[in-house]
Amino acid sequence: MSEKIETLTDTLDKQNEILSGLLDITLRQREALKEGRLSDLQDIMSEMRHISVRAQAIETKRARIAADVASELGCEPIVSDIARVLPPEEAENVRRVAKALMETAEKLKLEMSILSRLMEEAKSLNEMLINEWRRIGARAAGSVTGAFDTRI
């Protein structure tokens, strides 16, 4: 059983590493969006797609290993339940790695929320600009001289 617990712990640790990478990419994406570096966003999005695939794969692996361990221990495939039935030193190691993973996941969730709001704001601003350009263009097209109307 110790080998399976070690595999679970290693998988949780690897999952934390991958989510930390995703967090880093999300922070870079937010900064690029905030600073208007649109050319960087395409590369960042490509990186995000790549690491997201890795994150999904490690999550599948973690779920499979947790289910296997839980089945042998006669508990639910939840870290807290697994740790409850393990010897103290193995339980502490599993809890430590799981806690680090949860902290990273919470940070990522917060950053994704911030990024989502920034993107919504950018979308709204772009729509306002487009509508204003259309209004100015329509007014200019109606002008007899073909120039912009500068009256206020």
- The pLDDT tens digits for 51-91 are 999 999 999 999 999 999 999 999 999 999 999 999 999 99
Q: Is residue 80 part of a domain?
A: yes
Q: Is residue 28 scored above 70 in pLDDT?
A: yes
Quote the pLDDT of residue 121: 83
How high is the pLDDT of residue 151? 61
Q: In sequence order, what are the residues at sequence separation of 6 or more whose Cβ sits closer than 8 angstroms to the Cβ of residue 30?
A: 111, 114, 115, 118
Q: What is the pTM of this model?
A: 0.77
Domain that holds residue 31: 2-114
Contact between 112 and 29 (Cβ < 8 Å): no
Three-state secondary-structure class, residue 145: coil
pLDDT of 144 above 60: no
pLDDT at 125 exceeding the cut of 80:
yes
Report if residue 51 sits inside a domain: yes
Pick from 15, 48, 18, 17: which is nearest to 119 by CA?
48
Give domain status of residue 142, yes or no: no
Domain count, the chain: 1
Give domain status of residue 56, yes or no.
yes
Most confident by average pLDDT, 88-92, 117-121, 125-129, 143-147: 88-92
- Residue 68 CB-half CA count within 13 A: 14
Return the amino acid letter for 60. T
In a domain? residue 22: yes
Query: Are the C-beta atoms of residues 35 and 122 closer than 8 Å to each other?
Result: no
> What is the C-alpha to C-alpha distance for residues 25 and 119, in angstroms, rounded to an integer?
15
The amino acid sitting at 57 is: A
Check whether 149 has a pLDDT greater than 80.
no
Q: Does 138 score more than 90 pLDDT?
A: no
Q: Which tens digit of pLDDT belongs to each residue from 29-44?
A: 988 888 878 888 889 9
Handedness of CA 30, 31, 32, 37 (dihedral sign): positive
Q: Locate all alpha helices (DSSP H) within the chain, ordered by sequence.
A: 2-35, 38-73, 79-84, 88-142
Is residue 144 one of the residues assigned to a domain?
no
